[in-house]
Each structure stands twice: as C-alpha cells, then as structure tokens.
A and B are shown apart, each in its own frame.
Chain A
Amino acid sequence: MIAFAISSVLLLAGLGLALRRVIVGPTPFDRVVALDLIGGLCLCLIVMFSIFFDQGVLLDSAFAISLVSFLGTVAFARYLGRGETK
C-alpha cells in the first residue's frame, strides 16, 4: 500500500511540473513535448490504477492513450512545421 502512495505522489508531482512547462513554455514545441509527457504520465497513472483495483481491462485504455499521444505529437509537429523554414 505504501508503494501506491509513493507512486501516486511522484506521478502527481510530475504532472504538475509538466503542466507548468505547458503554461510557461517559451516556444510551442516545448508545450507539445510537455503535453506528450503528460500523456505518458497519464498512461503510468492508469496502469497504476489497473494494478490497484486489480482490473486488467484498464490496460486497453493505456494502449489507446499510447496510440493517440504519438499521433497527436506527430500531427502537431507537421502543423507547426508548415510554411517557410528558418
């Protein structure tokens, strides 16, 4: 049980720090990378819940999150990279 408490505190602190970078990020690329990290941390949180409640089906939602996070990052990269370079 103490392991769940430690993991929850670490993951929530990580989510807060990543959210700070999303808010203050100097460039849009910083925000995209921080949002990608938030997706990964949410995946960690869902897998931790899956272990805590002993529900194996929650792993499928982690699968969906990993897919959507990748596609979102690549789509943002293509969107920010349009137009002239430099």
Chain B
Amino acid sequence: MSILVAICMVLGAFFGFVAALGVNRMPDFYMRMHAATKAGAFGAGLMLLAAALHFGSVRATVTAVGIIVLFYLTTPVAAQTISEVAYRKGVKLWPKSGRNQLAEDEEPSGDR
C-alpha cells in the first residue's frame, strides 16, 4: 500500500470525524448543518480519492470520480433544502450570530 493512499484515507476519516464533532459541538442548527455537509463531503471525497489511487484501474477511478462529482452536486442541494425548510418552520438562530441577511432581505417587501 502506497503512502499516498494511507495519507488520503486517514485524512478522509479525520474529516469525517471532524464533521461528527461539529454536529455535536456547534450551538445552532444552521452551524451543525454547515459542519455536517462541508466537512462530511470533503472527508468522503478524500476517502474516494484514496480508493481511486489504490486500485488504479479505469473502472474504479471512473466510479470513484463519479461518486465524488455526485456527492459534491447533491450535498449542497440537500443542505440548502433542509435549512430553508428549517428557517421557514421557525428554527431559531444562535443569539450571538451577527446578522440574519435573509430576514433583512425579506423585511422591506413584507409579503412573506
């Protein structure tokens, strides 16, 4: 096993762990969602990169790159959908969050 595969694998697992840690430690639903989607997608991408480097065949590389592209296309969509629904349903922001730009944008029209 090459050293590059080992480094990518350990880094991918580390970022997955960081995502889970953020999901536990962040004070607010939106920050938890941010930690889970960003670090989780990065960890999965590194792990799949390790698989592509390990196998080296065309089939495994195409599969791994396909999963990476799919993951990076779908994860932001899922995160945006769930956070917009949470906001519309009235999930509160952390009180120390600096500003709420979505509320500021919607305030003048007032038709929501």
Q: Please give the residue numbers on chain A whose beta carbons come within 8 Å of chain B beta carbons, in ascending order.
A: 3-4, 6-8, 10-11, 13-18, 20-21, 26-27, 29-30, 32-34, 36-37, 40-41, 43-44, 47-48, 50-51, 56, 59-60, 62-63, 66-67, 70, 73-74, 76-78, 80-81, 85-86
Query: Do residues A59 and B63 form an inter-chain contact, with CB atoms below 8 A?
Result: yes
Please give, as numbers and ranges, the residues of chain A lying within 8 Å of B23 by CB-CB distance: 17-18, 21, 33-34, 37
Query: Do residues A44 and B89 form an inter-chain contact, with CB atoms below 8 A?
Result: no
Q: How many inter-chain residue pairs (CB < 8 Å) link A and B?
A: 171
What are 7 A-B residue pairs whose CB atoms fall within 8 Å in the complex? Answer: A3-B6, A10-B16, A27-B91, A36-B37, A36-B78, A37-B20, A37-B23
Give which listed residue, B10, B44, B57, contacts A43 with CB less than 8 A.
B44
Query: Do residues A21 and B51 form an inter-chain contact, with CB atoms below 8 A?
Result: no
Query: Do residues A13 and B29 form an inter-chain contact, with CB atoms below 8 A?
Result: no
The chain B residue with its CB closest to the CB of A34 is B23
By secondary structure, the A interface counts as helix
Complex alpha-carbon distance, A83 and B24, angstroms: 29
Please tell me the number of chain B residues within 8 Å of chain A, measured between CB atoms: 54
Query: Do residues A33 and B70 form an inter-chain contact, with CB atoms below 8 A?
Result: no
Query: Do residues B36 and A44 form an inter-chain contact, with CB atoms below 8 A?
Result: no
Give which listed residue, A29, A51, A78, contacts B29 with CB less than 8 A.
A29
Query: Do residues A56 and B60 form an inter-chain contact, with CB atoms below 8 A?
Result: yes
